[in-house]
A and B are shown apart, each in its own frame.
Chain A
C-alpha cells in the first residue's frame, strides 16, 4: 500500500480470490455448470427412484461449491507463507481434481440414467465407486489439513474462542464425515429399513419413514459452519477461559448430536 493510494479494506470476495484462487475459481465453475444441469432437469422426464434424476447432481454442485467457498474464506487464517508453498498448492490441486471427479461421476451417472453412489451393477461402476470414495475422503481431508494448520498459526488475529471453534469445526468435519459417510458407503444404500414409500422431509429429501444415514453425514459435514458460528457467539457471551470452555462444550454437544442422528439412522428410525 503506497502513501498515494487510499487504504482500502479488501472485500470479502476479493480475499477469496487472493487467498484461495483455485478453490474460489472452481466453486464459480461448479455454480456455472448448474445452468445446463438445470436445463437438463427441465427437459428430462427420467427419475431416479422417486426423484428427478438431475436433483442429485444439482445438490452436489451446491454442496461442493459451499464447501470450497468456505475453505477459501478460512484460507486467510492459514500460517504465513503456507498458501504460497508448493506443498499447499499441490494439495489444493489434488483436492480440486477430486471435486471435479466426483461431480463428473455423479453428473455422468445421471446423464446415463443410472446411479453413482451404491452402484455395484457392473465392474466399471464398482471400480468407480471405490475410487470416488477415495476422492471423497481426499477432498474432505482438506478441512483436516486446514484445521491443523490454523491451529498451529500463532498469528491469526482471531479471538481465541473463535480460532478454537474454527479449528474444531474443520477437524470435526473431517473426522465425523469420514465416520458417517464411510459407514454409509459400506451399506447398500442411505436408507435403513423398509418400507420406503416416498415420504420425505421437504428440501432435504430425508426419509420420514425409515433411518436415513444422510442426516448424520449432512450435520457432520457442516461442522465447519456450525462450530465457528457458535465460536462467534461464545466470544460474545463470555471472556477468557470461559469462552474457550463454551467452545469446547459446543464441539462436544455437536459431536453428540451427529452421533445421535447416526445411531438413530442405524436403528432404522427417521429423524422426524
Chain B
C-alpha cells in the first residue's frame, strides 16, 4: 500500500469522526464511540505500523528544527505525522464534546471550537479552554 493511498483512506475516516462530533446531540453515545475510540484507534494502528516499518530508515531526528524538517521529507514518516495530527486532534475534539456535555455547555458554543480544533488543533483547544473558563465565571 502506497503512502498516498493510505492518506486517501485516512482523511475521510477522520472526517467521519468530526461529522459525528458535530452531529453528536442526535446520538451522543455512538458519536463519541466513533470519534473518541474507533477512529482514533484505527489511525493510531496505521501510525504504529508506519513507524515500525519506516522510522529507522528515515533521515533526520528531533534535535534541531532542520532535522525535524528533514524527517518529514520521507513520505512515509510525513504520512505518519499527518495521521498523528488526525488522531490526536480528533481525540481532543471528542474530549471537548464529552466535557461540554458533562458541564452543560451548549452545543452551539462547542461547534466553533470543534471547527477550530479540526483545522488548527491546538488553537481549538485554546478556544475551548477559554470558553470553559468564561462560562464557569458566569455561573460562579
Residues of chain A at the chain B interface (Cβ within 8 Å): 35-40, 42-44, 46, 54, 107, 110-113
Contact = CB atoms under 8 A, between A and B. Distances in A.
14 contacts: A35-B45, A36-B48, A36-B49, A37-B49, A39-B46, A39-B49, A40-B52, A40-B53, A43-B53, A44-B52, A54-B52, A110-B52, A111-B55, A113-B57
A112 B55 CA distance: 8
Given A40-B50, A44-B53, A113-B57, 20 more contacts: A35-B45, A36-B52, A37-B49, A37-B52, A38-B49, A39-B45, A39-B49, A39-B50, A40-B53, A42-B1, A43-B6, A43-B49, A43-B50, A43-B53, A44-B52, A54-B52, A110-B52, A111-B52, A111-B53, A113-B56
A44 B49 CA distance: 9
B120 interface: no
Interface of B: 1, 6, 45-46, 48-57, 76
Contacts of B52: 36-37, 39-40, 44, 54, 107, 110-111
Contacts of A54: 52-53
A37 B50 CA distance: 10
Contacts, number: 44
A142 B76 CA distance: 41
A221 to B, nearest CB: 26
A265 to B, nearest CB: 32
A36 B50 CA distance: 9
Contacts of B57: 113
Given A111-B56, A113-B57, A36 B1 contact: no
Contacts of B48: 36, 39-40
Interface residue SS majority, chain A: helix
B7 to A, nearest CB: 13
Contacts of A38: 49
A43 B1 contact: yes
A43 B55 CA distance: 12
A18 B94 CA distance: 35
A44 B45 contact: no
A36 B48 CA distance: 6
Per CB-CB distance, the 10 closest pairs between chain A and chain B, nearest first, are A39-B49, A44-B53, A36-B48, A40-B52, A40-B53, A112-B56, A40-B49, A43-B53, A111-B52, A36-B49
Contacts of A40: 48-50, 52-53
Nearest to B76: A43
Given A42-B1, A43-B1, A43-B50, A36 B45 contact: yes
B56 A42 contact: no
A38 B48 CA distance: 10
A272 to B, nearest CB: 33
A248 to B, nearest CB: 47
Contacts of B1: 42-43
Nearest to B56: A112
A113 B56 CA distance: 7
B56 A44 contact: no
A112 B6 CA distance: 22
A39 B1 CA distance: 10
Contacts of B6: 43
A52 to B, nearest CB: 11
Contacts of B56: 111-113
A42 B2 CA distance: 10
Contacts of B49: 36-40, 42-43
A119 to B, nearest CB: 14
A110 B54 CA distance: 11
A87 B43 CA distance: 42
A115 to B, nearest CB: 13
